[in-house]
DNA sequence: TACTGGATGTTATAACATAACAACATTAGA
DNA sequence: TCTAATGTTGTTATGTTATAACATCCAGTA
């Protein structure tokens, strides 16, 4: 029988991401955990290993445009997480990409699955601020 | 009168990207240029500065999922470049994201402009290879 | 000429990510 | 029970990507 055990650090990381909301870099997470002390996680490797597991489980997503990670807000269905990212202020909104038609716009004969959707740019607020 | 001059290194970089096709990291580009010798570019900073200019001009795009840069293949219209990326083999296909309906799927009150669209995952070929 | 501002070159360092290996735990089978 | 096989964890070191900081050069112009 396969016993399902919690892996080291996964819980800690999930908690930090939940509290913080918004995206955090692996080193942000590490910093938080070290700051608190007590935990098992002390090195980047451990953070990345835990994040990898959590991503596989769909608990966490990577936001490539920010080199950061977010707690899944579970709006999406199945394996189609979508993000709108402001690369200026770092704000991220998650949405369900299942309803997107982007794949149809893509060239024939090249499809990815599972897919992660990311739209990055500068949000309206940051644009206003910049143009002042 | 404002004289438009070519900036240092821009041409070299564009050339390397054109020859190579596919995405290259800033350090790949730097390596190529150093390998050739002769050019003006010798340090990362110079590569990143040139890439920044080229991106502003729409000549080059950044592929966040790969931390890499590609020559624009100019399929897209205006400021809506789209990419389908296999994070396994690094293959990238560019497409016109203007026709995408993703923005409609996004939450209200948060829009980005200009936007870069990226769909990342594992392509069919890589999946087959992995499952063998 | 001397000043200004912008582009460029150069060095150093910050930020992000993984390789490599030792130590320990778990399980299956002798 | 003992042991080999396997996998997880902890730890150190290193690789990769990106930017900060500052010196220098050069064109334009008062």
Q: Which of B91, B105, B113 is facing A100, going by the closest CB pair?
A: B105
Q: Please state the φ and ψ torsions of residue A14, each to the nearest 5 degrees.
A: -60, -40
Q: Which of B96, B110, B119 is facing A112, going by the closest CB pair?
A: B119
pLDDT tens readout for residues A101-118: 655 556 666 777 778 889
Tell me: pLDDT of B3 over 50.
no
Question: A99 or B42: whose pLDDT is higher?
Answer: B42
Q: What is the mean pLDDT of residues A46-74?
A: 92
pLDDT tens readout for residues B20-70: 989 999 999 999 998 887 678 899 999 999 999 999 888 999 999 999 999
The pLDDT value given to residue A70: 95
- Give the percent of chain A with pLDDT over 70: 80
- Residue B84's CB is within 10 A of a number of other CB atoms, namely 25
CA of A45 to C1' of D5 (A): 25
Helices (H), chain A: 10-20, 26-36, 44-56, 102-105, 124-131
Calpha distance B68→A25 (Å, rounded): 19
Q: How distant, in Å, are the alpha carbons of A6, A18, A46, A85, B42 from that of B31? A: 44, 41, 32, 31, 9
Residue B105 in contact with partner chain A when CB distance is under 8 A: yes
Tell me: pLDDT of A4 over 70.
no
Mean pLDDT (chain A) is 82
Protein-covered nucleotides on strand C (Cβ within 7 A): 7-12, 15-20, 26-27
The pLDDT value given to residue A3: 37
**Least confident stretch, A26-35, A112-121, A122-131, B5-14:** A122-131
Protein-covered nucleotides on strand D (Cβ within 7 A): 8-13, 16-21, 28
B85, B69 Cβ separation under 8 angstroms: no
pLDDT tens readout for residues A44-56: 999 999 999 999 8
List, in order, residues 6 or more apart from A26 with CB less than 8 Å away.
A44, A47, A48, A51, A69
A114, A62 Cβ separation under 8 angstroms: no
Cβ distance B84 to A93 less than 8 Å, yes or no, reads no
Question: A31 or A6: whose pLDDT is higher?
Answer: A31
Q: What is the mean pLDDT of residues A70-96?
A: 83
Calpha distance A104→B14 (Å, rounded): 30
pLDDT band at B128 (very low <50, low <70, confident <90, very high): confident
Bridge partner residues of B118 (DSSP) = A118, B83
Q: How distant, in Å, are the alpha carbons of A71, A113, B50, B86 from that of B91? A: 28, 14, 24, 5
Partners of residue A56 in chain B, C-beta under 8 Å: none
The pLDDT value given to residue A44: 96
Name the pTM for this structure: 0.88
**Least confident stretch, A7-21, A74-88, B21-35:** A74-88
pLDDT band at A39 (very low <50, low <70, confident <90, very high): confident
């Amino acid at each position: 029988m396969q016993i399902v055990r919690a892996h080291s650090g996964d819980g800690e990381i999930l908690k930090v991401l939940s509290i913080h909301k918004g995206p955090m870099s692996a080193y942000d997470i590490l910093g938080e955990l070290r700051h608190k002390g007590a935990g098992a996680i002390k090195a980047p490797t451990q953070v990345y290993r835990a994040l990898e597991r959590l991503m596989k489980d769909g608990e966490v997503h990577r936001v490539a445009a920010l080199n950061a990670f977010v707690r899944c807000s579970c709006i999406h269905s199945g394996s189609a997480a979508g993000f709108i990212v402001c690369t200026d202020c770092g704000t991220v909104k998650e949405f369900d990409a299942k309803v997107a038609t982007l794949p149809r716009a893509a060239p024939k004969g090249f499809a990815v699955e599972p897919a992660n959707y990311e739209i990055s740019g500068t949000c309206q607020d940051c644009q206003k601020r910049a143009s002042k």
